[in-house]
């Protein structure tokens, strides 16, 4: 039972983080490699602010979301839009975006590493404290409850919005065919910016919750999470909201299982193994949509 609870908590963090990546990848075709750095830098900003003041939980959370959203917007405007404007076809654009993201990811990482000397940093100075409740045999922390509930609500809201609202429809249309969507009057640039902001905000939120739950993270934590988010997205299928939730909890379950069965050192291989296996057996993922064939 305790293991199941760890699975759900871990899976919820993965879900919050991977949701943003899946959204941009599935709709506006941006595989954002700086997502992990944005995640880390939101926490880092919170850490810097909490060094000087004491803030309650909600403002810290909002700061994380705001920093993530703003960084994501900057990356989109300064780098990805320029790359896509210059690229001669979709394939080269995809690749340049990937590489640009890798380059950009190094910048916040270097700043954080420089300031913390690669020592883990946390959000301890806030007025929020982690309580542990005992329910029967189960130990559960308040931050775990908040994480699980927020992940569930945000995921459901996102899935509902994508499926039911006009903007969601427009976004899905872009994901299927950009040119036709533009012909149908979809304002591509505005939607792309909004999507990136939402994605960055989710990264910031995941970062703050993750750090409160764990106590501290290092500057490199974002990169580790990046690979896991890939595993979640590929496992479930790119762009599928059901898929990313499935991927997040399955990955968390596999990792917790491996952790309890073996010594910890194989855990890192779980996500890579899953990526490889899924691509081998079912390249579009478990809930993946059919590739749109263009002739």
Partner 1 sequence: MSWYDTNLVLIQASITGLLLALSIQVPLRMGVFSFAGVGAYGIGCYAGAVLVLDHEMTALPTILITTVLGAVVVLIVGLLINRLNGLTLAMATVAFDLIISVVAINGGETTGGATGRYGVITDFTMTHMWTFLVVVLVLVALSERGKIGRRVDAVRDDPELAASVGIRVRRYRLVAFTVSGALGACAGAMNILVRSAVTPLDIGFHLIVLALTMIIVGGSLSWKGAVIGAVVFTWLPDVLQVIGEWQELVYGVIVAFAAVLMPRGIYGLYVQGKLAVLRRRRAGSSEVRAAMAAEEARESGDDGPHVESTMAEAAHRGDEPMGAKL
Residue (40 or 205) nearer to partner 1, CB: 40
Pick the closest to residue 142 from 213, 47, 57, 210 (CA basis).
213
Pick the closest to residue 130 from 149, 152, 145 (CA basis).
145
Task: By CB under 8 A, tell whether 59 contacts partner 1.
Answer: no
Q: Which residues contact 251 (CB under 8 A, 6 or more apart)?
A: 11, 14, 228, 231, 232, 235, 270, 271, 274
Tell me, by CB under 8 A, how many residues bind partner 1: 49
Task: By CB under 8 A, tell whether 116 contacts partner 1.
Answer: no
In sequence order, the β-bridge partners of residue 133 are 140
Select the residue interacting with partner 1 from 105, 174, 196, 232 (CB under 8 A): 105
Among the candidate windows 136-144, 146-154, 164-172, 262-270, which touches partner 1 by CB under 8 A? 262-270
Pick the closest to residue 25 from 247, 161, 175, 158 (CA basis).
175
Task: By CB under 8 A, tell whether 275 contacts partner 1.
Answer: yes
Task: By CB under 8 A, tell whether 276 contacts partner 1.
Answer: yes
Phi-psi region of 135 (alpha: psi -120 to 50; beta: other; left: phi over 0): beta
Among the candidate windows 63-71, 156-164, 176-184, 198-206, which touches partner 1 by CB under 8 A? 176-184
Count of CB atoms situated within 10 Å of the CB of 262 = 10
Question: Using an 8 Å Cβ cutoff, are 80 and 70 in contact?
Answer: no
Task: By CB under 8 A, tell whether 98 contacts partner 1.
Answer: yes
Select the residue interacting with partner 1 from 73, 87, 140, 193 (CB under 8 A): 87
Binding mask 10-49 for partner 1 (x = CB under 8 A): ---------------------x------------------
Task: By CB under 8 A, tell whether 179 contacts partner 1.
Answer: yes
Task: By CB under 8 A, tell whether 265 contacts partner 1.
Answer: yes
DSSP state of 125: T
User: Exposed, middle or buried: residue 167 (CB in 10 Å: 0-12, 13-18, 19+)?
Assistant: middle
Task: By CB under 8 A, tell whether 125 contacts partner 1.
Answer: no
264 φ/ψ angles, rounded to the nearest 5 degrees: -60, -20
Task: By CB under 8 A, tell whether 106 contacts partner 1.
Answer: yes
Select the residue interacting with partner 1 from 5, 74, 96, 172 (CB under 8 A): 96
Task: By CB under 8 A, tell whether 119 contacts partner 1.
Answer: no
The 3-state DSSP class for residue 30 equals coil
Interacting residue ranges for partner 1, rule: CB under 8 A: 31, 78-79, 82-83, 86-89, 91-92, 94-96, 98-100, 102-107, 109-111, 113-114, 177, 179-180, 183-184, 223, 227, 230, 234, 265-266, 268-269, 272-273, 275-276, 279-280, 283, 294
């Amino acid at each position: 039972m305790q293991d199941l609870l760890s699975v759900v908590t871990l899976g919820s963090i993965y879900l919050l983080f991977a949701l943003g990546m899946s959204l941009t990848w599935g709709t506006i075709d941006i595989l954002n490699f700086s997502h992990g750095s944005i995640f880390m830098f939101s926490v880092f900003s919170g850490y810097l602010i909490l060094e000087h003041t004491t803030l309650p939980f909600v403002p810290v959370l909002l700061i994380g979301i705001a920093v993530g959203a703003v960084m994501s917007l900057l990356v989109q405007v300064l780098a990805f839009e320029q790359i896509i404007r210059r690229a001669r076809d979709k394939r080269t654009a995809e690749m340049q975006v990937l590489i640009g993201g890798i380059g950009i990811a190094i910048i916040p990482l270097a700043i954080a590493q420089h300031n913390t000397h690669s020592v883990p940093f946390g959000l301890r100075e806030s007025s929020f404290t982690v309580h542990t409740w005992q329910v029967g045999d189960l130990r559960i922390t308040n931050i775990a409850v908040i994480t699980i509930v927020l992940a569930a609500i945000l995921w459901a809201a996102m899935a509902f919005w994508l499926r039911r609202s006009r903007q969601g429809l427009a976004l899905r249309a872009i994901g299927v065919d950009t040119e036709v969507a533009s012909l149908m009057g979809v304002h591509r640039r505005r939607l792309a910016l909004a999507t990136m902001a939402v994605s960055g905000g989710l990264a910031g939120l995941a970062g703050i919750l993750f750090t409160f739950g764990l106590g501290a993270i290092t500057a490199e934590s974002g990169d580790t999470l990046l690979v896991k988010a890939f595993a979640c997205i590929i496992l479930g299928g790119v762009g599928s909201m059901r898929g990313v939730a499935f991927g997040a909890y399955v990955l968390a379950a596999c990792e917790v299982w491996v952790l309890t069965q073996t010594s910890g050192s194989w855990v890192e291989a779980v996500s890579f193994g899953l990526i490889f296996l899924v691509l081998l057996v079912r390249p579009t993922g478990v809930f993946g949509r059919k590739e749109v064939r263009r002739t």
